Amino acid sequence: MATTLIPIAALLLSSAFLLMAGGLHGLLLPIQGTLHGFTTVQLGLIGTGWSVGFLAGCLLMPAVVRRVGHVRSYGVMASLAGVSILLNLLITSPEAWITLRALSGFCFAGAAMVVESWLNERASKENRGTIFSVYQMVVFAGSTAGQLLMTITPPSEFFFFAIGAILYCLAILPTALSTAQHPQPLKAVRLDLRALYRNSPVAVVGCVLIGFVNGAFGTLGAVYAQRIGLPIPSIALLMAGAVLGGSLIQFPLGRLSDRMDRRKVLIGVCVGAIVIALTIVILRPRTPELVTGLVVIFGAMIYPQYAITVAHANDYAGADEFVKIAGGLLLLLGVGTMIGPLLAAQAMEHFIPEGLFAFTAASHLCLGLYTLFRMTKRSSAPTSAFRSVALAKGAAATPESVTLDPRGSETPAEPVDAPSPAREEPPHFAAPVSDPLVSAGIEAAEAESPEAGAEAAGSESGDAIRPDPPASGRRDPE
C-alpha cells in the first residue's frame, strides 16, 4: 500500500486542498448571496454558471494542456479559482457572481483534470483499483471537510472567502514541487449521442433528469435551509449530511442492482426520493434536527442514482465502450445540472421554499414513469459487477475520472470492423476525456492488443462511437 501511495501523495494532497476549496466555495456563495438580498432565481443562475464553466473546462482544457503543459495549466487554473473567490468578496452584484462562478467552474474542471490525468499516468493494472478507491475517498473527505468549515463562527465577513483563496493557493504547491513524471496529454473522444440513446434510453433520459435534481439541490439546498431559518452551522451539517447519506448507501444499492434488474432499483430510489420530498413539502419542518434527518435520507436516495444509471447503460454496451458511454453520460448529467437550478429557483420564488423538493419530486416522477415504460419495451440485460461512482457536491467528476476507474481496463477491447465507405456518419459530439476512469481504459487496451490500441488511437483522434450490430449474446435495444 505504501509503495503505491507514496509516489502519488503530492497529487492526492493537491486534490484534497482543491476539493476543500471547492466544497467551501460552493456552499459559501448561496448563503452569502441570500444575506446580500439576491433573489432565488439569481442564486439559481449562479449554480447554472458553475455548470456551464465546468463543462467548458472539460471541453477546452485538453487543448490548453497540449499548448503549455500540465504544471503551468494546473497553476493557472488554481490561481484563477483563488482570484474568483476573492473577487466574490470585492464585487457583490448578482451578474458579477454568476460570471465569476462560471470562471471558477472552468478553473475547477481544468485543475481536476490535470491531477486526475497525472494519477492515471501513475496507475497500473495491478494498483488502479487501489488508487481509484483512495482518490474517491479524498474526493468525498475533501469536499465534505470544505463544507463543514462553515460550522466555524467567522471572526469577520471576509473570513471564509480568505480561507477559500488560501486553500486554492495551497493546492498549487504539491504539484508544483512534485518530481512525478508528467503525464501524457489529456485525451479526447468523440461521442455519438444517438448511439448512446440506442444503447440505453433510460440512461440518457435519466442522466438529464438526475442532473436536474442534483444541480438544483446542490445549488439551492442551502438557500432552502436559510429561508426556513436554520443557522449557518446547521446548514453546513445539512448539506454535508446529504452527501454522507448518499455515499454510505451507494455500495449496498450497487450490490442490490447486481442481483436484479437495475431499473427496478432505480425506480425504488426514485419512489424513496419522492416520498421524502413530499414529506418535506407537506410537513414543512423547521427544527434543525428533523430537517437534517430528512435531507440525509433524501441525499441517500438521489446521489446513488447516477452510478446505477451508468451501470445499467454498460450492461448493454460492448466490451470496448465503457469509456465512451461514461463520458457521454457525464456530459448529459452536466447539461441537467445547468437547467435544474433555474427551474427549481422558479418553484421556490413563486411558491414556498419547499418548492425545491416539489421540483425534485416531479423530476423523479418523470424518471420513474419513463423507466417503468422502458421496462415494457426492453428486457433486462445480464448485469456486470457494480462499482460506485462518487458524485459529491463541489467535486463533480470529470472525463479524466472515467479513465482512472478500473472498469475502463478490466475487459480487453474488441476490434471493431471498419465502416463501409458508403456509410453515412451520424452527427457526433466532441467531449474531452477528463474522468480518471476513461484514459486508463484506452491505455490498458493499447498495452493488451494491437487491435484495441488502434481503436483507442482512433478514439483519441476523434472517431465517433459506432453502435455494434446486435450479436447473439447481446440484446437489441427495442
Nearest to 330 by CA among 15, 54, 140, 86: 54
Q: Is residue 459 part of a domain?
A: no
The SS3 call for residue 431 is strand
Q: Of the ranges 110-114, 242-246, 268-272, which one carries the lowest mean pLDDT score?
A: 110-114
Q: Is residue 49 part of a domain?
A: yes
Q: Domains in the chain: how many in total? A: 1
Please enumerate in sequence order all residues whose Cβ is within 8 A of that of 12, keeping only pairs 6 or more positions apart, or say none. Answer: 5, 119, 134, 135, 138
User: Over the stretch 219-230, which tens digit does the pLDDT of each residue have?
Assistant: 999 999 999 999
C-alpha cell at 300: 441517500
How would residue 12 be classed by pLDDT, with cut points 50, 70 and 90?
A: confident
Q: What separation in angstroms does the CA of 120 have from each of 127, 184, 193, 236, 439?
A: 11, 10, 26, 32, 7
Q: Of the ranges 33-37, 40-44, 178-182, which one carries the lowest mean pLDDT score?
A: 178-182
Nearest to 208 by CA among 112, 353, 278, 305: 305
C-alpha cell at 124: 497500473
Residue 410 is predicted with a pLDDT of 52
Q: Is residue 223 part of a domain?
A: yes
DSSP track, 239-286: HHHHHHHHHHHHHHHHHHHHSS-HHHHHHHHHHHHHHHHHHHHHH---
Q: Is residue 275 part of a domain?
A: yes
Q: Is residue 474 part of a domain?
A: no
User: Over the stretch 91-112, which tens digit does the pLDDT of each residue have?
Assistant: 999 999 999 999 999 998 888 8
Residue 403 is predicted with a pLDDT of 56
Residue 329 is predicted with a pLDDT of 82
Please enumerate in sequence order all residues whose Cβ is within 8 A of that of 366, keeping only pairs 6 or more positions apart, or say none. Answer: 209
User: Over the stretch 396-409, which tens digit does the pLDDT of each residue have?
Assistant: 566 666 555 655 55
Q: Is residue 436 part of a domain?
A: no
Rounded Cα distance, 59 and 53, in Å: 10
Q: Is residue 53 part of a domain?
A: yes
Residue 171 and residue 71 in contact, taking contact as beta carbons nearer than 8 Å: no
Task: Tell me the CATH number at 179.
Answer: 1.20.1250.20
The SS3 call for residue 387 is coil
Structural domain boundaries enclosing 161: 2-408
Give the whole-number percent of the chain exceeding pLDDT 70.
72
Q: Is residue 431 part of a domain?
A: no
User: Over the stretch 336-365, which tens digit does the pLDDT of each residue have?
Assistant: 999 999 999 999 988 899 999 999 999 999
Which residues partner with 189 through β-bridges?
431
User: Over the stretch 366-421, which tens digit does the pLDDT of each residue have?
Assistant: 999 999 998 888 776 655 544 444 454 445 566 666 555 655 555 444 444 444 44
